[in-house]
Structure 1
Amino acid sequence: MSDLFDKLPQRRAIIDRRKLGEQLAAIAAETNDTGQRRRAMVALLKEALGAGHSEIAHRLLEAPSHGRLAAQATAFLIDQIVRLSHDFTVDHLYPSGNRSAGERITVIAVGGYGRGEMAPHSDVDIGFLTPFKQTSWTEQVIEAQLYTLWDLGLKVGHSSRSLEEMIRAAKEDLTVRTALLEGRFVWGDRDLYDQAAARFDAEVVAGNARAFVADKLAERDERHKKMGDSRYVVEPNVKEGKGGLRDLHTLFWIGKFIHRVRTVPELVDAGLLTARELRQFARAENFLLAVRCHLHTLAGRAEDRLTFDFQREIAARMQFAERPGKSAVERFMQLYFLHAKSVGDLTGTFLAHLDDQLAARGRRFLPSIRRRPGKLNGFVLDRGRLALPSDDFFEADPVRLIEIFALADKYGLEIHPQAMRQARHDAKLIETQGVRRDARANALFLDVLTSPRDPETVLRWMNEAGIFGRFVPDFGRVVAQMQFDMYHHYTVDEHTIRAIGLLADIEQNRLKGDHPLSTAIMQQIHSRRVIYMAVLLHDIAKGRGGDHSILGAELALRVCPRLGLTAAETETVSWLVRYHLLMSATAFKRDLADFKTILDFAQVVQSPERLRLLLVLTVVDIRAVGPGVWNSWKRQLLTELYDAAEEVLRLGHKQRGREQRIANKKEDAQALLGMGDKDFAKLAKRLPESYWIAEPVEVIAANLVHIQKAGSAPLHIAAVPDDDRGATLVMVLAADHPGLFYRIAGGIHLAGGNIIDARIHTTRDGLALDNFLVQDPLGRPFDEADQIARLTRAIEDALANRQKLLPKLEARALPRARAEAFRVAPNVFVDNKASNRFTVIEVNAQDRPALLNQLAHALFQSKVTVHSAHVATYGERAVDTFYVTDLLGGKIDSAARVKSLEKRLLDAAGADEEVEVA
């Protein structure tokens, strides 16, 4: 009998099999009717199953971190239900007094159930095994038991095989082979189970270790790729994700297949884990199982993705508390990622042990790139990997803890997992032996950081070994720290390392197609060390309870000199960290056609070198946020801002290039259209100077075609997909009147469009020319004819007032479930200094469908004219900026009027009594 549940306390409080057995015997004695017996059995077991789940849920709340006990308790509960139902089926539903040798059944638990690890809504994976082909009696028993389990509400994964069929399926199918590897006897004929186990060992396992290991590692790599290939995605999959439970299972499966161990502790005797690594394995598994059990309980179903809406609730259930600068949910997720990192560490050392056991002498079992370096400074090569000559090698000279990574980078070598394990163990020497103050250590670290080869990979190794955070303690504080929002996809340390990798890619011309300007600029930057250090430090002060840009700038003044930067370099790094969000905020939230925007930006930047550095830092920061965050629209806005600011810094504040820029744009637009001088001049004179500055050449050309086609029509709407910007350009030429902007916005939203930018122009002959960049709900352009027709029709209906906009929009605006985990308190900023001509209004609010329309309607009610609107979204947060005047074209500077405007916009943004007005 299995000793799997021997340490499970008070098992009878979960389910009392003896008592239930007596009650089932009483049911059988009451009636001979098979149907009545079965219904009564199901009712009794259903009640017992519910009571057992309630007891386990109560225990999990009482001891919320004891995941292994909760998972084992669930498996124990299912075991007793299966046993009771099997006995009742065999003895009272389909009794057979004279069974043949072939009428034997064994019930086997496989998969997670076989391991004794079940979350509340895990599948019950069972196998029914018979000695030979099934008889009519075994078919009846198996079918009856399955119906019982289904009637109990269990999700059953099942197979029914003869002994021969089982062996054949295991040989042919890796999934079956893996499931049976964890097979555990539950009930039935024990001799048949023992026979099956012996044949499985002899015919499936023996001699096939190498093939199984290769298959499982390939399967793991494919799974990681599917799940995002990072341990540090902020909504991880607890079971299948990198660093999740399945990675631990894979190690156990491999060890079990090779050495036929029954439990994880036996992997120590097999030489695949040390005692310390076993404790690491147990801690990580216990925590991940706890998270998975809480997740299933809260979801009420089998759910393994730890989404934002569950993270906060699980943090509360697991009794995490707030700390200064760090919320309870961020502390919970930081521990989650530390455990995921621990799983990655275990995997590396486990595979190294495996390599040693399976490889032929002097060769590698697992594939690798072999490189031959020159001097190794005492380190040795072990089958192409950088290794240690002895276990006390780091202790003899702790600077080697940094040097091993510098050598790996210099020669393109992998580091032996045993050396990584020793580095993790000896990382504390960095603190106790003064390594941070050692000039050689700091120079080696700077070499790795600014490497022209692959700094991302080596810095990630340093991070996983725990060396990075020890050597740069401020970086250590953000290791595994998540950012609880829908914008950031990775933890702070992973985001930073990815950004450094992107910087190296840009410098090495590997991203020239995506980032042509940044690639060109990297060749002009005077100090590579400054830009790499700025990328390293830009988010280093997150989670400290203040503005991370200001706090980070102060940290840079302390960290940079220690790492060997000059006073001038340190000052520049500090400035870059302080203003690393300035360029994106200006480009995405302000009107770049307003010259005051450019002047204000240039006044902060002050030098062309700082501008170059800031652009590159901004690009890699945005790109490293996560997939899909960078797009061509952002590239264009940043390029426009860079070009305009570069001109101001080069020529001064006289804007001497304005007339030339307008002339160039007219020339380029005419060439693009292939239009004659006379026809072009006729169209061009209808547009004011401000229009030519505001719009790019491609939009100008589209607008001129639009105006030409409109002729004398009172309304003309056109939509042109723009793949470069990843959006559709919607152009509306109409008689100008109050409310035009909010009605167009409403029509676009009703057609399913999201507005990402809007510019409102007035032609010299008094018509409104409004340009909107619009995307579909998935962030793509509207490019099909029926989509564009629907968009055009919706705008026409809105302008003709054919339908009540607000009720329709409210009916359409379904909330996003994930966004409900967040609360963004609306804020309104009214700024009369940001522009010489306009009042600039910035609204921060929870993103939702038709938000822009509701804000535009509030502006209409406030009797202001919108001249341009700029929409930026950062996950769940929307930032909408409007350049407005009063109806006479003046700024809104009356205090009473500003207060009234703020209140209307806050109401439209969904404010409650707790929000602030800034």
Structure 2
Amino acid sequence: MSLIDVDNRRAIIDRRAIAERFRSGGDVAEILRKALEAGREEIASRIASEPGSGRAAAQATAFLHDQIVRLAYEAVIGTTDPALALVGLGGTGRGEMAPYSDLDLMFLTAKRPSPETEQIAQAMLHLLWDLKIKVGHSVRSTTDLISLAKSDMTVRTAFLEARPICGTTQVFDGVMQRFRTDVVAGTSAEFVAAKLAERDERHVRMGDTRYVVEPNVKEGKGGLRDLHALYWIGKYVHGVERSADLVSAGLLTAAEYRGFDRAERFFWSVRCHLHLLAGRAEERLGFEHQRQIAEIMRYADRPGKSAVERFMQFYFLNAKSVGDLTGVFLAQLDEQLGKKGFRFALPTILRKPKRLAGFVLDRGRLSIPTDGFLRDEPLRLLEIFALAAREQLEIHPTAMRAATRDATLIGRKLRDDPRANAFFMEVLTSIHHPETVLRWMNEAGVFGRFVPDFGRVVAQMQFDMYHHYTVDEHSIRAIGLLAAIERGELKDDHPLSTALIKQIASRRVLYVAVLLHDIAKGRGGDHSELGAEIALRLCPRLGLDPAETETVSWLVRYHLLLSSTAFKRDIADPKTIEDFVRLVQSPERLRLLLILTVVDIRAVGPSVWNDWKRSLLRTMFEAAEERLRLGHKQHGRAELVEARQKELADAVNWSARAVKAHAKRLPDSYWLAEPPSWQIANARQVATAEAHIGDAQPSVAVENDLESGATRVSVFTPDREGLFYRICAGLAGAGANIIDARIHTTRDGMALDNLLVLDGRGKSYTDKRLRGRLARAVEVALSATNPPPLPQTQTSSPRSKAFTVAPSVAIADRASTRTTVVEVNAGDRPALLAALTAAIHAEGHRIHSAHIATYGERAVDVFYLTRADGKKLSERDIGALRDALVSAAGRDSRAEAA
């Protein structure tokens, strides 16, 4: 790129006018600082008026820094003329810099740098640092540079885009000639292989997908660096001077280059806006900036899809385009190098496929015999992917290029063709990594054309902190996890699902349900209900019979039922199981729903799945399965209580009288709700506490619970008003996150409360000292004369500030026979639970259990309540409580603490 392309350069910086100020005796640093500030303001105003002019802004920024460097150089050297070239590298050399990019300079000399050269370099660097410019710099001789470029691929790549800014250009010309002859010549294959390995490592570091919802614009998969890598390779192999020259080099077609150019311009615009908003070199497009950039770039809301979601969908479509271009670019390059005996791609197979149906193999990759092979018979657009899945073959980029081009041939006729649908189902239900082939279908545009409803969610993000991937990527990952479970590869993580998947009647029902469970997102309305309607229409086309179609539709409609019930309701309450089983109706549906729920949660993103969720889902499944299998619970309430008490007697080795006394103190709800291992631990804790007669200190036990993967906090102390609030406040003050709680009162007025907590990383407290700290925090909160204030919390993160969650309260009076179930939805924050419990206690109500779930920035806290007299809440109680909880949920606890 030529810096002459910059429009109205003197409005950005007038070098002659500034040089004149130097001669007038002004302070050099101050003059340059004002010039830099004025230039940045001019560039910012230009991109503000033309939000899509990011590349022009990047070029203007490079021009501004060029002039600053030249002026600084002239001020430092004065009237001397050192044999020194000041060279821009990387983006500085290419002539494209984001507003806060580093300035990458090399001080280049023909011979070993002299003391004078070192002094000039130091003086210039100090001057630039005074201007708050971050400078990457080096001082090299010609010999040093060539030697380093031979051994260090980073140096070689940086110098590939080198450009003289000022100084003695003959030095630069000489070293560039040597670089081409001594370094570049004959090393194309080596360079390409190194750049591809570097790209792969970078992708892994950035998440190895284009579809993370907070992408890195510069380094992420499908971002600017991937485009730069194509340009570097083209420049190294063919000596291209501009990215447009990739067409004449035979690496891209004119149409493909237009896609390259469109993506590059878009990403430069996003990157420049991101830098300007952050006021620094920020490359991660975080939630806190997405909404602002969508507004700046003039995206508007549409029914069912917000402006920020439309902006991010266009971002991901461009990232997808970069991936497509990379594939065809590398295929062309491989062919070119192959003619010279320097192929860099080495995929191969050690067997022959059974049959290729007219397709061919190109060094182990599935390809097409002629350019028009897919166009001549559009059915082959599906067949090639089915063949790849069946034979576990990689598809050659040449064939992918043709599939991408010819995907437009997919219309109603092909979509209704039973053969095409059979090919699609073969891919979808393949046990051999179907996610890989589905991703290829998606990249080529075949997936969205063949299943138009899926095409509507391609590259669609969900603007929240819970979902880590776009809707299409989430669904494809879920299918991959399903196949991995069926292959037995996730037996340790998901033993129940691994066992159940062998028992289901129809594999394809499960795979189709996983594909369709989120297919109606972004349309407005309930995506589960809309998705169920889509399933009824689509499944017959895919070859499913009426019974299978009905089951898929039901699974899509209720795909959140199991998780929402297990995570938000008291599964020890018989009414919870009754209501759930009334909807599920059959053991087969229950098995399918459990597996669908597992892969759905696992595919949301890393760290979303944990042992606690596994434990809740398993407990829920087992209770429901027993009810469905027998038509009733195998053991009645009284029988189960008696069995639990006998299990305790066998474990603690107490006298029959002591066991009977302990059992009599606790209500039946305790014996039904708590796991036997907790009941045993509680009994020993109570016995130890009561052995210390006269000790007024509360008994607090903190131990790790292997089954749930969390830490159990058990509190035994005299019951009193606001007790549970004190416990919550103490734990919140110590930094613990409560995920579940059950509150019990003995018949003689003691409280026995069991809570599960996790640390700030979502893990149990493995350090014994930290568990001791939790216990002390609760003890202090319980022993204080007055209830502790709400803990002072840290300021919300910039990410969470990007979201507004309006607090809401839902009352489910029929969800329990004995209690009123209150569900609070609010923006998650530390000490939220403490604030809510304070409001409940202030209204005079008793909490019997609390269940806490978080979904990114949103918290869902569910309480099972009664009035102080043990009765359900009245309408008047509910109205007052609703107002109090909405106020507490929306109130910032930092303000209260202050």
Query: Which interval holds the TM-score relative to the shorter structure?
Result: over 0.9
Deviation at 1:806, TM superposition (A): 2.1
The equivalent residue for 2:535 is: 556
The equivalent residue for 1:876 is: 857
- State the SS of the aligned residue for 2:548: helix
The equivalent residue for 1:416 is: 396
> Closer, same or farther in 2 for the Cα pair 1:132/1:410, shift >3 Å?
same
> Closer, same or farther in 2 for the Cα pair 1:130/1:670, shift >3 Å?
farther
- State the SS of the aligned residue for 2:789: helix
Asked whether the 8 Å contact 2:465–2:855 carries over to 1, the reply is yes
Deviation at 1:801, TM superposition (A): 2.1
The equivalent residue for 2:357 is: 377
The equivalent residue for 2:46 is: 59
Aligned partner (choices 793, 796, 811) of residue 815 of structure 1: 796
Q: Distance in 1 between matches of 2:516 and 2:842?
A: 46
Deviation at 1:133, TM superposition (A): 1.6
Deviation at 1:461, TM superposition (A): 0.6
Aligned partner (choices 18, 21, 28) of residue 16 of structure 2: 18
Amino acid of the structure 2 residue aligned with 1:10: N
The equivalent residue for 2:408 is: 428
Asked whether the 8 Å contact 2:189–2:343 carries over to 1, the reply is no
> Closer, same or farther in 2 for the Cα pair 1:804/1:840, shift >3 Å?
closer
Q: Structure 2 matches for 1:511-526, cutoff 5 A? A: 511-526=490-505
The equivalent residue for 1:397 is: 377
Aligned partner (choices 447, 450, 464) of residue 426 of structure 2: 447
> Closer, same or farther in 2 for the Cα pair 1:708/1:378, shift >3 Å?
same
Is residue 2:212 matched to residue 1:233? yes
The equivalent residue for 1:770 is: 753
Give unmatched runs, 5+ long, in structure 2.
Answer: 893-898
Q: Distance in 1 between matches of 2:39 and 2:342?
A: 53
The equivalent residue for 2:828 is: 847
Q: Cα RMSD over matched residues?
A: 2.0
Amino acid of the structure 2 residue aligned with 1:853: A
- State the SS of the aligned residue for 1:711: helix
The equivalent residue for 1:915 is: none
The equivalent residue for 2:895 is: none
Deviation at 1:361, TM superposition (A): 8.4
Deviation at 1:246, TM superposition (A): 1.2
Map Cα deviations across residues 141-199 of structure 1 (whole Å, 9 max, x no partner): 22222222112221111111111111122122221111111111111111111101011
Q: Structure 2 matches for 1:167-182, cutoff 5 A? A: 167-182=146-161
> Closer, same or farther in 2 for the Cα pair 1:397/1:262, shift >3 Å?
same
The equivalent residue for 1:740 is: 723
Scaled by the length of structure 1, the TM-score of the pair is: 0.94
Q: Distance in 2 between matches of 1:546 and 1:89?
A: 66
Amino acid of the structure 2 residue aligned with 1:21: A
Q: How many residues matched? A: 887
Map Cα deviations across residues 453-500 of structure 1 (whole Å, 9 max, x no partner): 111111011001111011000100000000000000000000000001
> Closer, same or farther in 2 for the Cα pair 1:369/1:706, shift >3 Å?
farther
> Closer, same or farther in 2 for the Cα pair 1:131/1:551, shift >3 Å?
same
> Closer, same or farther in 2 for the Cα pair 1:683/1:426, shift >3 Å?
same
The equivalent residue for 1:605 is: 584
Asked whether the 8 Å contact 2:626–2:633 carries over to 1, the reply is no
Amino acid of the structure 2 residue aligned with 1:854: A
Greater Cα shift, 657-666 or 472-481: 657-666
Greater Cα shift, 458-467 or 656-665: 656-665
Aligned partner (choices 473, 476, 482) of residue 494 of structure 1: 473
Is residue 2:88 matched to residue 1:88? no
The equivalent residue for 1:134 is: 113
> Closer, same or farther in 2 for the Cα pair 1:467/1:662, shift >3 Å?
farther
Map Cα deviations across residues 353-393 of structure 1 (whole Å, 9 max, x no partner): 22212337899632324142121111111111111111111
Q: Structure 2 matches for 1:508-657, cutoff 5 A? A: 508-653=487-632, 656=635
- State the SS of the aligned residue for 1:60: helix
> Closer, same or farther in 2 for the Cα pair 1:658/1:511, shift >3 Å?
farther
The equivalent residue for 1:78 is: 65
The equivalent residue for 2:462 is: 483
Deviation at 1:123, TM superposition (A): 0.1
- State the SS of the aligned residue for 2:583: helix
- State the SS of the aligned residue for 2:410: helix
Map Cα deviations across residues 295-337 of structure 1 (whole Å, 9 max, x no partner): 0000000100011000000101111110000000000000011
Aligned partner (choices 880, 884, 887) of residue 904 of structure 1: 884
Amino acid of the structure 1 residue aligned with 2:766: D
Deviation at 1:601, TM superposition (A): 0.5
Amino acid of the structure 2 residue aligned with 1:840: V
Aligned partner (choices 493, 498, 506) of residue 485 of structure 2: 506
Q: Distance in 1 between matches of 2:552 and 2:265?
A: 43
Amino acid of the structure 2 residue aligned with 1:603: R
> Closer, same or farther in 2 for the Cα pair 1:284/1:803, shift >3 Å?
farther
Q: Distance in 2 between matches of 1:334 and 1:48?
A: 38
Amino acid of the structure 2 residue aligned with 1:444: F
Q: Distance in 2 between matches of 1:697 and 1:785?
A: 24
The equivalent residue for 1:750 is: 733
Greater Cα shift, 148-157 or 597-606: 148-157
Asked whether the 8 Å contact 2:364–2:393 carries over to 1, the reply is yes
- State the SS of the aligned residue for 1:239: coil
Asked whether the 8 Å contact 1:683–1:708 carries over to 2, the reply is no
Deviation at 1:662, TM superposition (A): 4.6
Q: Distance in 1 between matches of 2:153 and 2:706?
A: 44
The equivalent residue for 1:887 is: 868
- State the SS of the aligned residue for 1:730: strand
The equivalent residue for 1:916 is: none
Amino acid of the structure 2 residue aligned with 1:806: P
Map Cα deviations across residues 766-823 of structure 1 (whole Å, 9 max, x no partner): 321101111111112223232122211111111122566225x1x3343222100000
Asked whether the 8 Å contact 1:813–1:850 carries over to 2, the reply is no
Amino acid of the structure 1 residue aligned with 2:197: A
Amino acid of the structure 2 residue aligned with 1:8: V
Deviation at 1:709, TM superposition (A): 2.2
Deviation at 1:502, TM superposition (A): 0.7
Q: Structure 2 matches for 1:780-819, cutoff 5 A? A: 780-802=763-785, 805-806=788-789, 809=791, 811-819=792-800
Greater Cα shift, 170-179 or 325-334: 170-179
> Closer, same or farther in 2 for the Cα pair 1:79/1:674, shift >3 Å?
farther
Asked whether the 8 Å contact 1:424–1:467 carries over to 2, the reply is yes
Amino acid of the structure 1 residue aligned with 2:797: R
- State the SS of the aligned residue for 1:757: strand
Amino acid of the structure 2 residue aligned with 1:7: D
Deviation at 1:682, TM superposition (A): 5.8
Q: Distance in 2 between matches of 1:654 and 1:506?
A: 30
Is residue 2:187 matched to residue 1:208? yes
Map Cα deviations across residues 818-851 of structure 1 (whole Å, 9 max, x no partner): 1000000000011210100000000000101111
Q: Distance in 2 between matches of 1:382 and 1:84?
A: 56
Asked whether the 8 Å contact 2:331–2:397 carries over to 1, the reply is yes
Give unmatched runs, 5+ long, in structure 1.
Answer: 31-36, 913-918
Q: Distance in 1 between matches of 2:887 and 2:334?
A: 64
Deviation at 1:216, TM superposition (A): 1.7
- State the SS of the aligned residue for 1:129: strand
Greater Cα shift, 477-486 or 265-274: 265-274
> Closer, same or farther in 2 for the Cα pair 1:679/1:216, shift >3 Å?
farther
Asked whether the 8 Å contact 2:192–2:344 carries over to 1, the reply is no
> Closer, same or farther in 2 for the Cα pair 1:676/1:107, shift >3 Å?
farther
Q: Distance in 2 between matches of 1:646 and 1:543?
A: 34
Asked whether the 8 Å contact 1:320–1:332 carries over to 2, the reply is yes
Q: Distance in 2 between matches of 1:789 and 1:774?
A: 14
Amino acid of the structure 2 residue aligned with 1:888: D
Aligned partner (choices 684, 691, 710) of residue 689 of structure 2: 710
Question: Percent identity of the aligned residues?
Answer: 59
Scaled by the length of structure 2, the TM-score of the pair is: 0.96
Q: Distance in 2 between matches of 1:114 and 1:672?
A: 75
The equivalent residue for 1:256 is: 235
